[in-house]
């Protein structure tokens, strides 16, 4: 099965990491994978563009099927290999509703994080405004506080209940990046506990980004 799959990915990219965690959770080790460099522009190579015309990573192919968006790839794997590995979306209606809610809320957290993380890279220096950057950080702060609150109310140590689920597959990479970039352990004790506890989960440990192992983080989110 896995031998028919190919993943093009970039180290440190939460969307890429999501797909890798999902593959591990569904016991689909042994897939073809190609680690590419964003810095060298390898995600814009013809090989990637042939699979993903947007020139973005991840690019994912399963047989003759192409699913490039990380959410789509993760849901495809869960649907296609439902009875294999970890059940990432529960059958119970109420439990499923919470998993789906937290999963898709993960996109909001990630986008608000990217807005802060990429501000100085995307906005020309002469167009930057400290007040605009401050508002983006305040918006992200409110979002992170919301997730801290979710973990305070949810027993079991996972984002959507007592079991590891699709919500954790999708959101954990964003949480890990937040802490790598300076998020305060003391200010967000529940998120910090969640981050540390899942570090040793086999699927996460096996796919931990080489970039995180080889280079230090920054303090971009220290004031969040």
Tell me the domain boundaries of the chain.
Answer: 5-81, 93-214
pLDDT-based confidence at residue 184 (cuts at 50, 70, 90): very high
Average pLDDT over residues 134-157: 94
- For residue 33, report the phi and psi dihedrals to the nearest 5 degrees: -140, 145
Give tens-digit pLDDT for 126-135.
788 888 889 9
Average pLDDT over residues 76-83: 96
> Taking Cα atoms as reference points, which of 167, 189, 190 lies closest to residue 25?
167
Residues 6+ apart with CB under 8 A from 213: none
Residues 6+ apart with CB under 8 A from 209: 11, 12, 13, 17
Q: What 3-state DSSP class applies to 47?
A: helix
Looking at mean pLDDT, say which of 8-22, 110-124, 129-143 comes out highest. Answer: 8-22
- Residue 203, Cβ density class (10 Å: 0-12 exposed, 13-18 middle, ≥19 buried): buried
Cα separations in angstroms, 215 against 57, 116, 188, 211: 21, 20, 24, 6
Kindly tell me if the per-residue pLDDT of 123 is higher than 80: no
Report the pLDDT value the prediction gives residue 218, as an integer from 0 to 100.
87
Cα separations in angstroms, 191 against 25, 97, 146: 22, 22, 10
Percent of the chain with pLDDT over 90: 85
Average pLDDT over residues 171-199: 97
CATH number for region 93-214: 1.20.1050.10
Give tens-digit pLDDT for 33-49.
999 999 999 999 999 99
Report the pLDDT value the prediction gives residue 191, as an integer from 0 to 100.
97
Average pLDDT over residues 62-78: 97
Enter the tokens of residue 110. Answer: 């990630």
- 133 compared with 192, residue with greater pLDDT: 192
Query: 5-81: CATH homologous superfamily?
Result: Glutaredoxin (3.40.30.10)
Kindly tell me if the per-residue pLDDT of 119 is higher than 80: no
Give tens-digit pLDDT for 199-211.
999 999 999 999 9
Give tens-digit pLDDT for 148-181.
999 999 888 899 999 999 999 999 999 999 999 9
pLDDT-based confidence at residue 125 (cuts at 50, 70, 90): confident
Beta bridge partner(s), residue 161: 158
Kindly tell me if the per-residue pLDDT of 138 is higher than 80: yes
Kindly tell me if the per-residue pLDDT of 69 is higher than 80: yes
Q: What 3-state DSSP class applies to 92?
A: coil
- Residue 122, Cβ density class (10 Å: 0-12 exposed, 13-18 middle, ≥19 buried): exposed
Mean pLDDT, the chain, integer = 94
Kindly tell me if the per-residue pLDDT of 188 is higher than 80: yes
């Amino acid at each position: 099965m896995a031998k028919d799959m190919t993943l093009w990915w970039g180290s440190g990219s939460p969307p890429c990491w999501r797909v890798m965690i999902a593959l591990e959770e569904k016991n689909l080790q042994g897939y073809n994978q190609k680690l590419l460099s964003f810095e060298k522009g390898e995600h814009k190579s013809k090989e990637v563009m042939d699979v993903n015309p947007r020139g973005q990573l991840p690019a994912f192919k399963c047989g003759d099927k192409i699913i490039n968006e990380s959410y789509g790839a993760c849901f495809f794997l869960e649907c296609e290999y439902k009875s294999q590995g970890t059940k990432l979306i529960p059958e119970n209606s109420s439990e499923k509703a919470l998993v789906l809610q937290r999963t898709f809320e993960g996109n909001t957290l990630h986008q608000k994080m990217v807005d802060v993380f990429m501000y100085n890279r995307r906005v020309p220096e002469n167009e930057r405004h400290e007040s605009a950057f401050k508002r983006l950080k305040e918006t992200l702060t409110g979002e992170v506080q919301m997730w801290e609150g979710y973990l305070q109310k949810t027993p079991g140590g996972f984002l959507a209940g007592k079991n590891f689920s699709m919500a954790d597959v999708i959101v954990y990479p964003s949480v890990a990046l937040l802490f790598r970039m300076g998020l305060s352990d003391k200010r967000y004790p529940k998120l910090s506990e969640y981050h540390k506890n899942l570090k040793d989960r086999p699927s996460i440990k096996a796919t931990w980004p080489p970039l995180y192992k080889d280079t230090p983080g920054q303090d971009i989110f220290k004031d969040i």
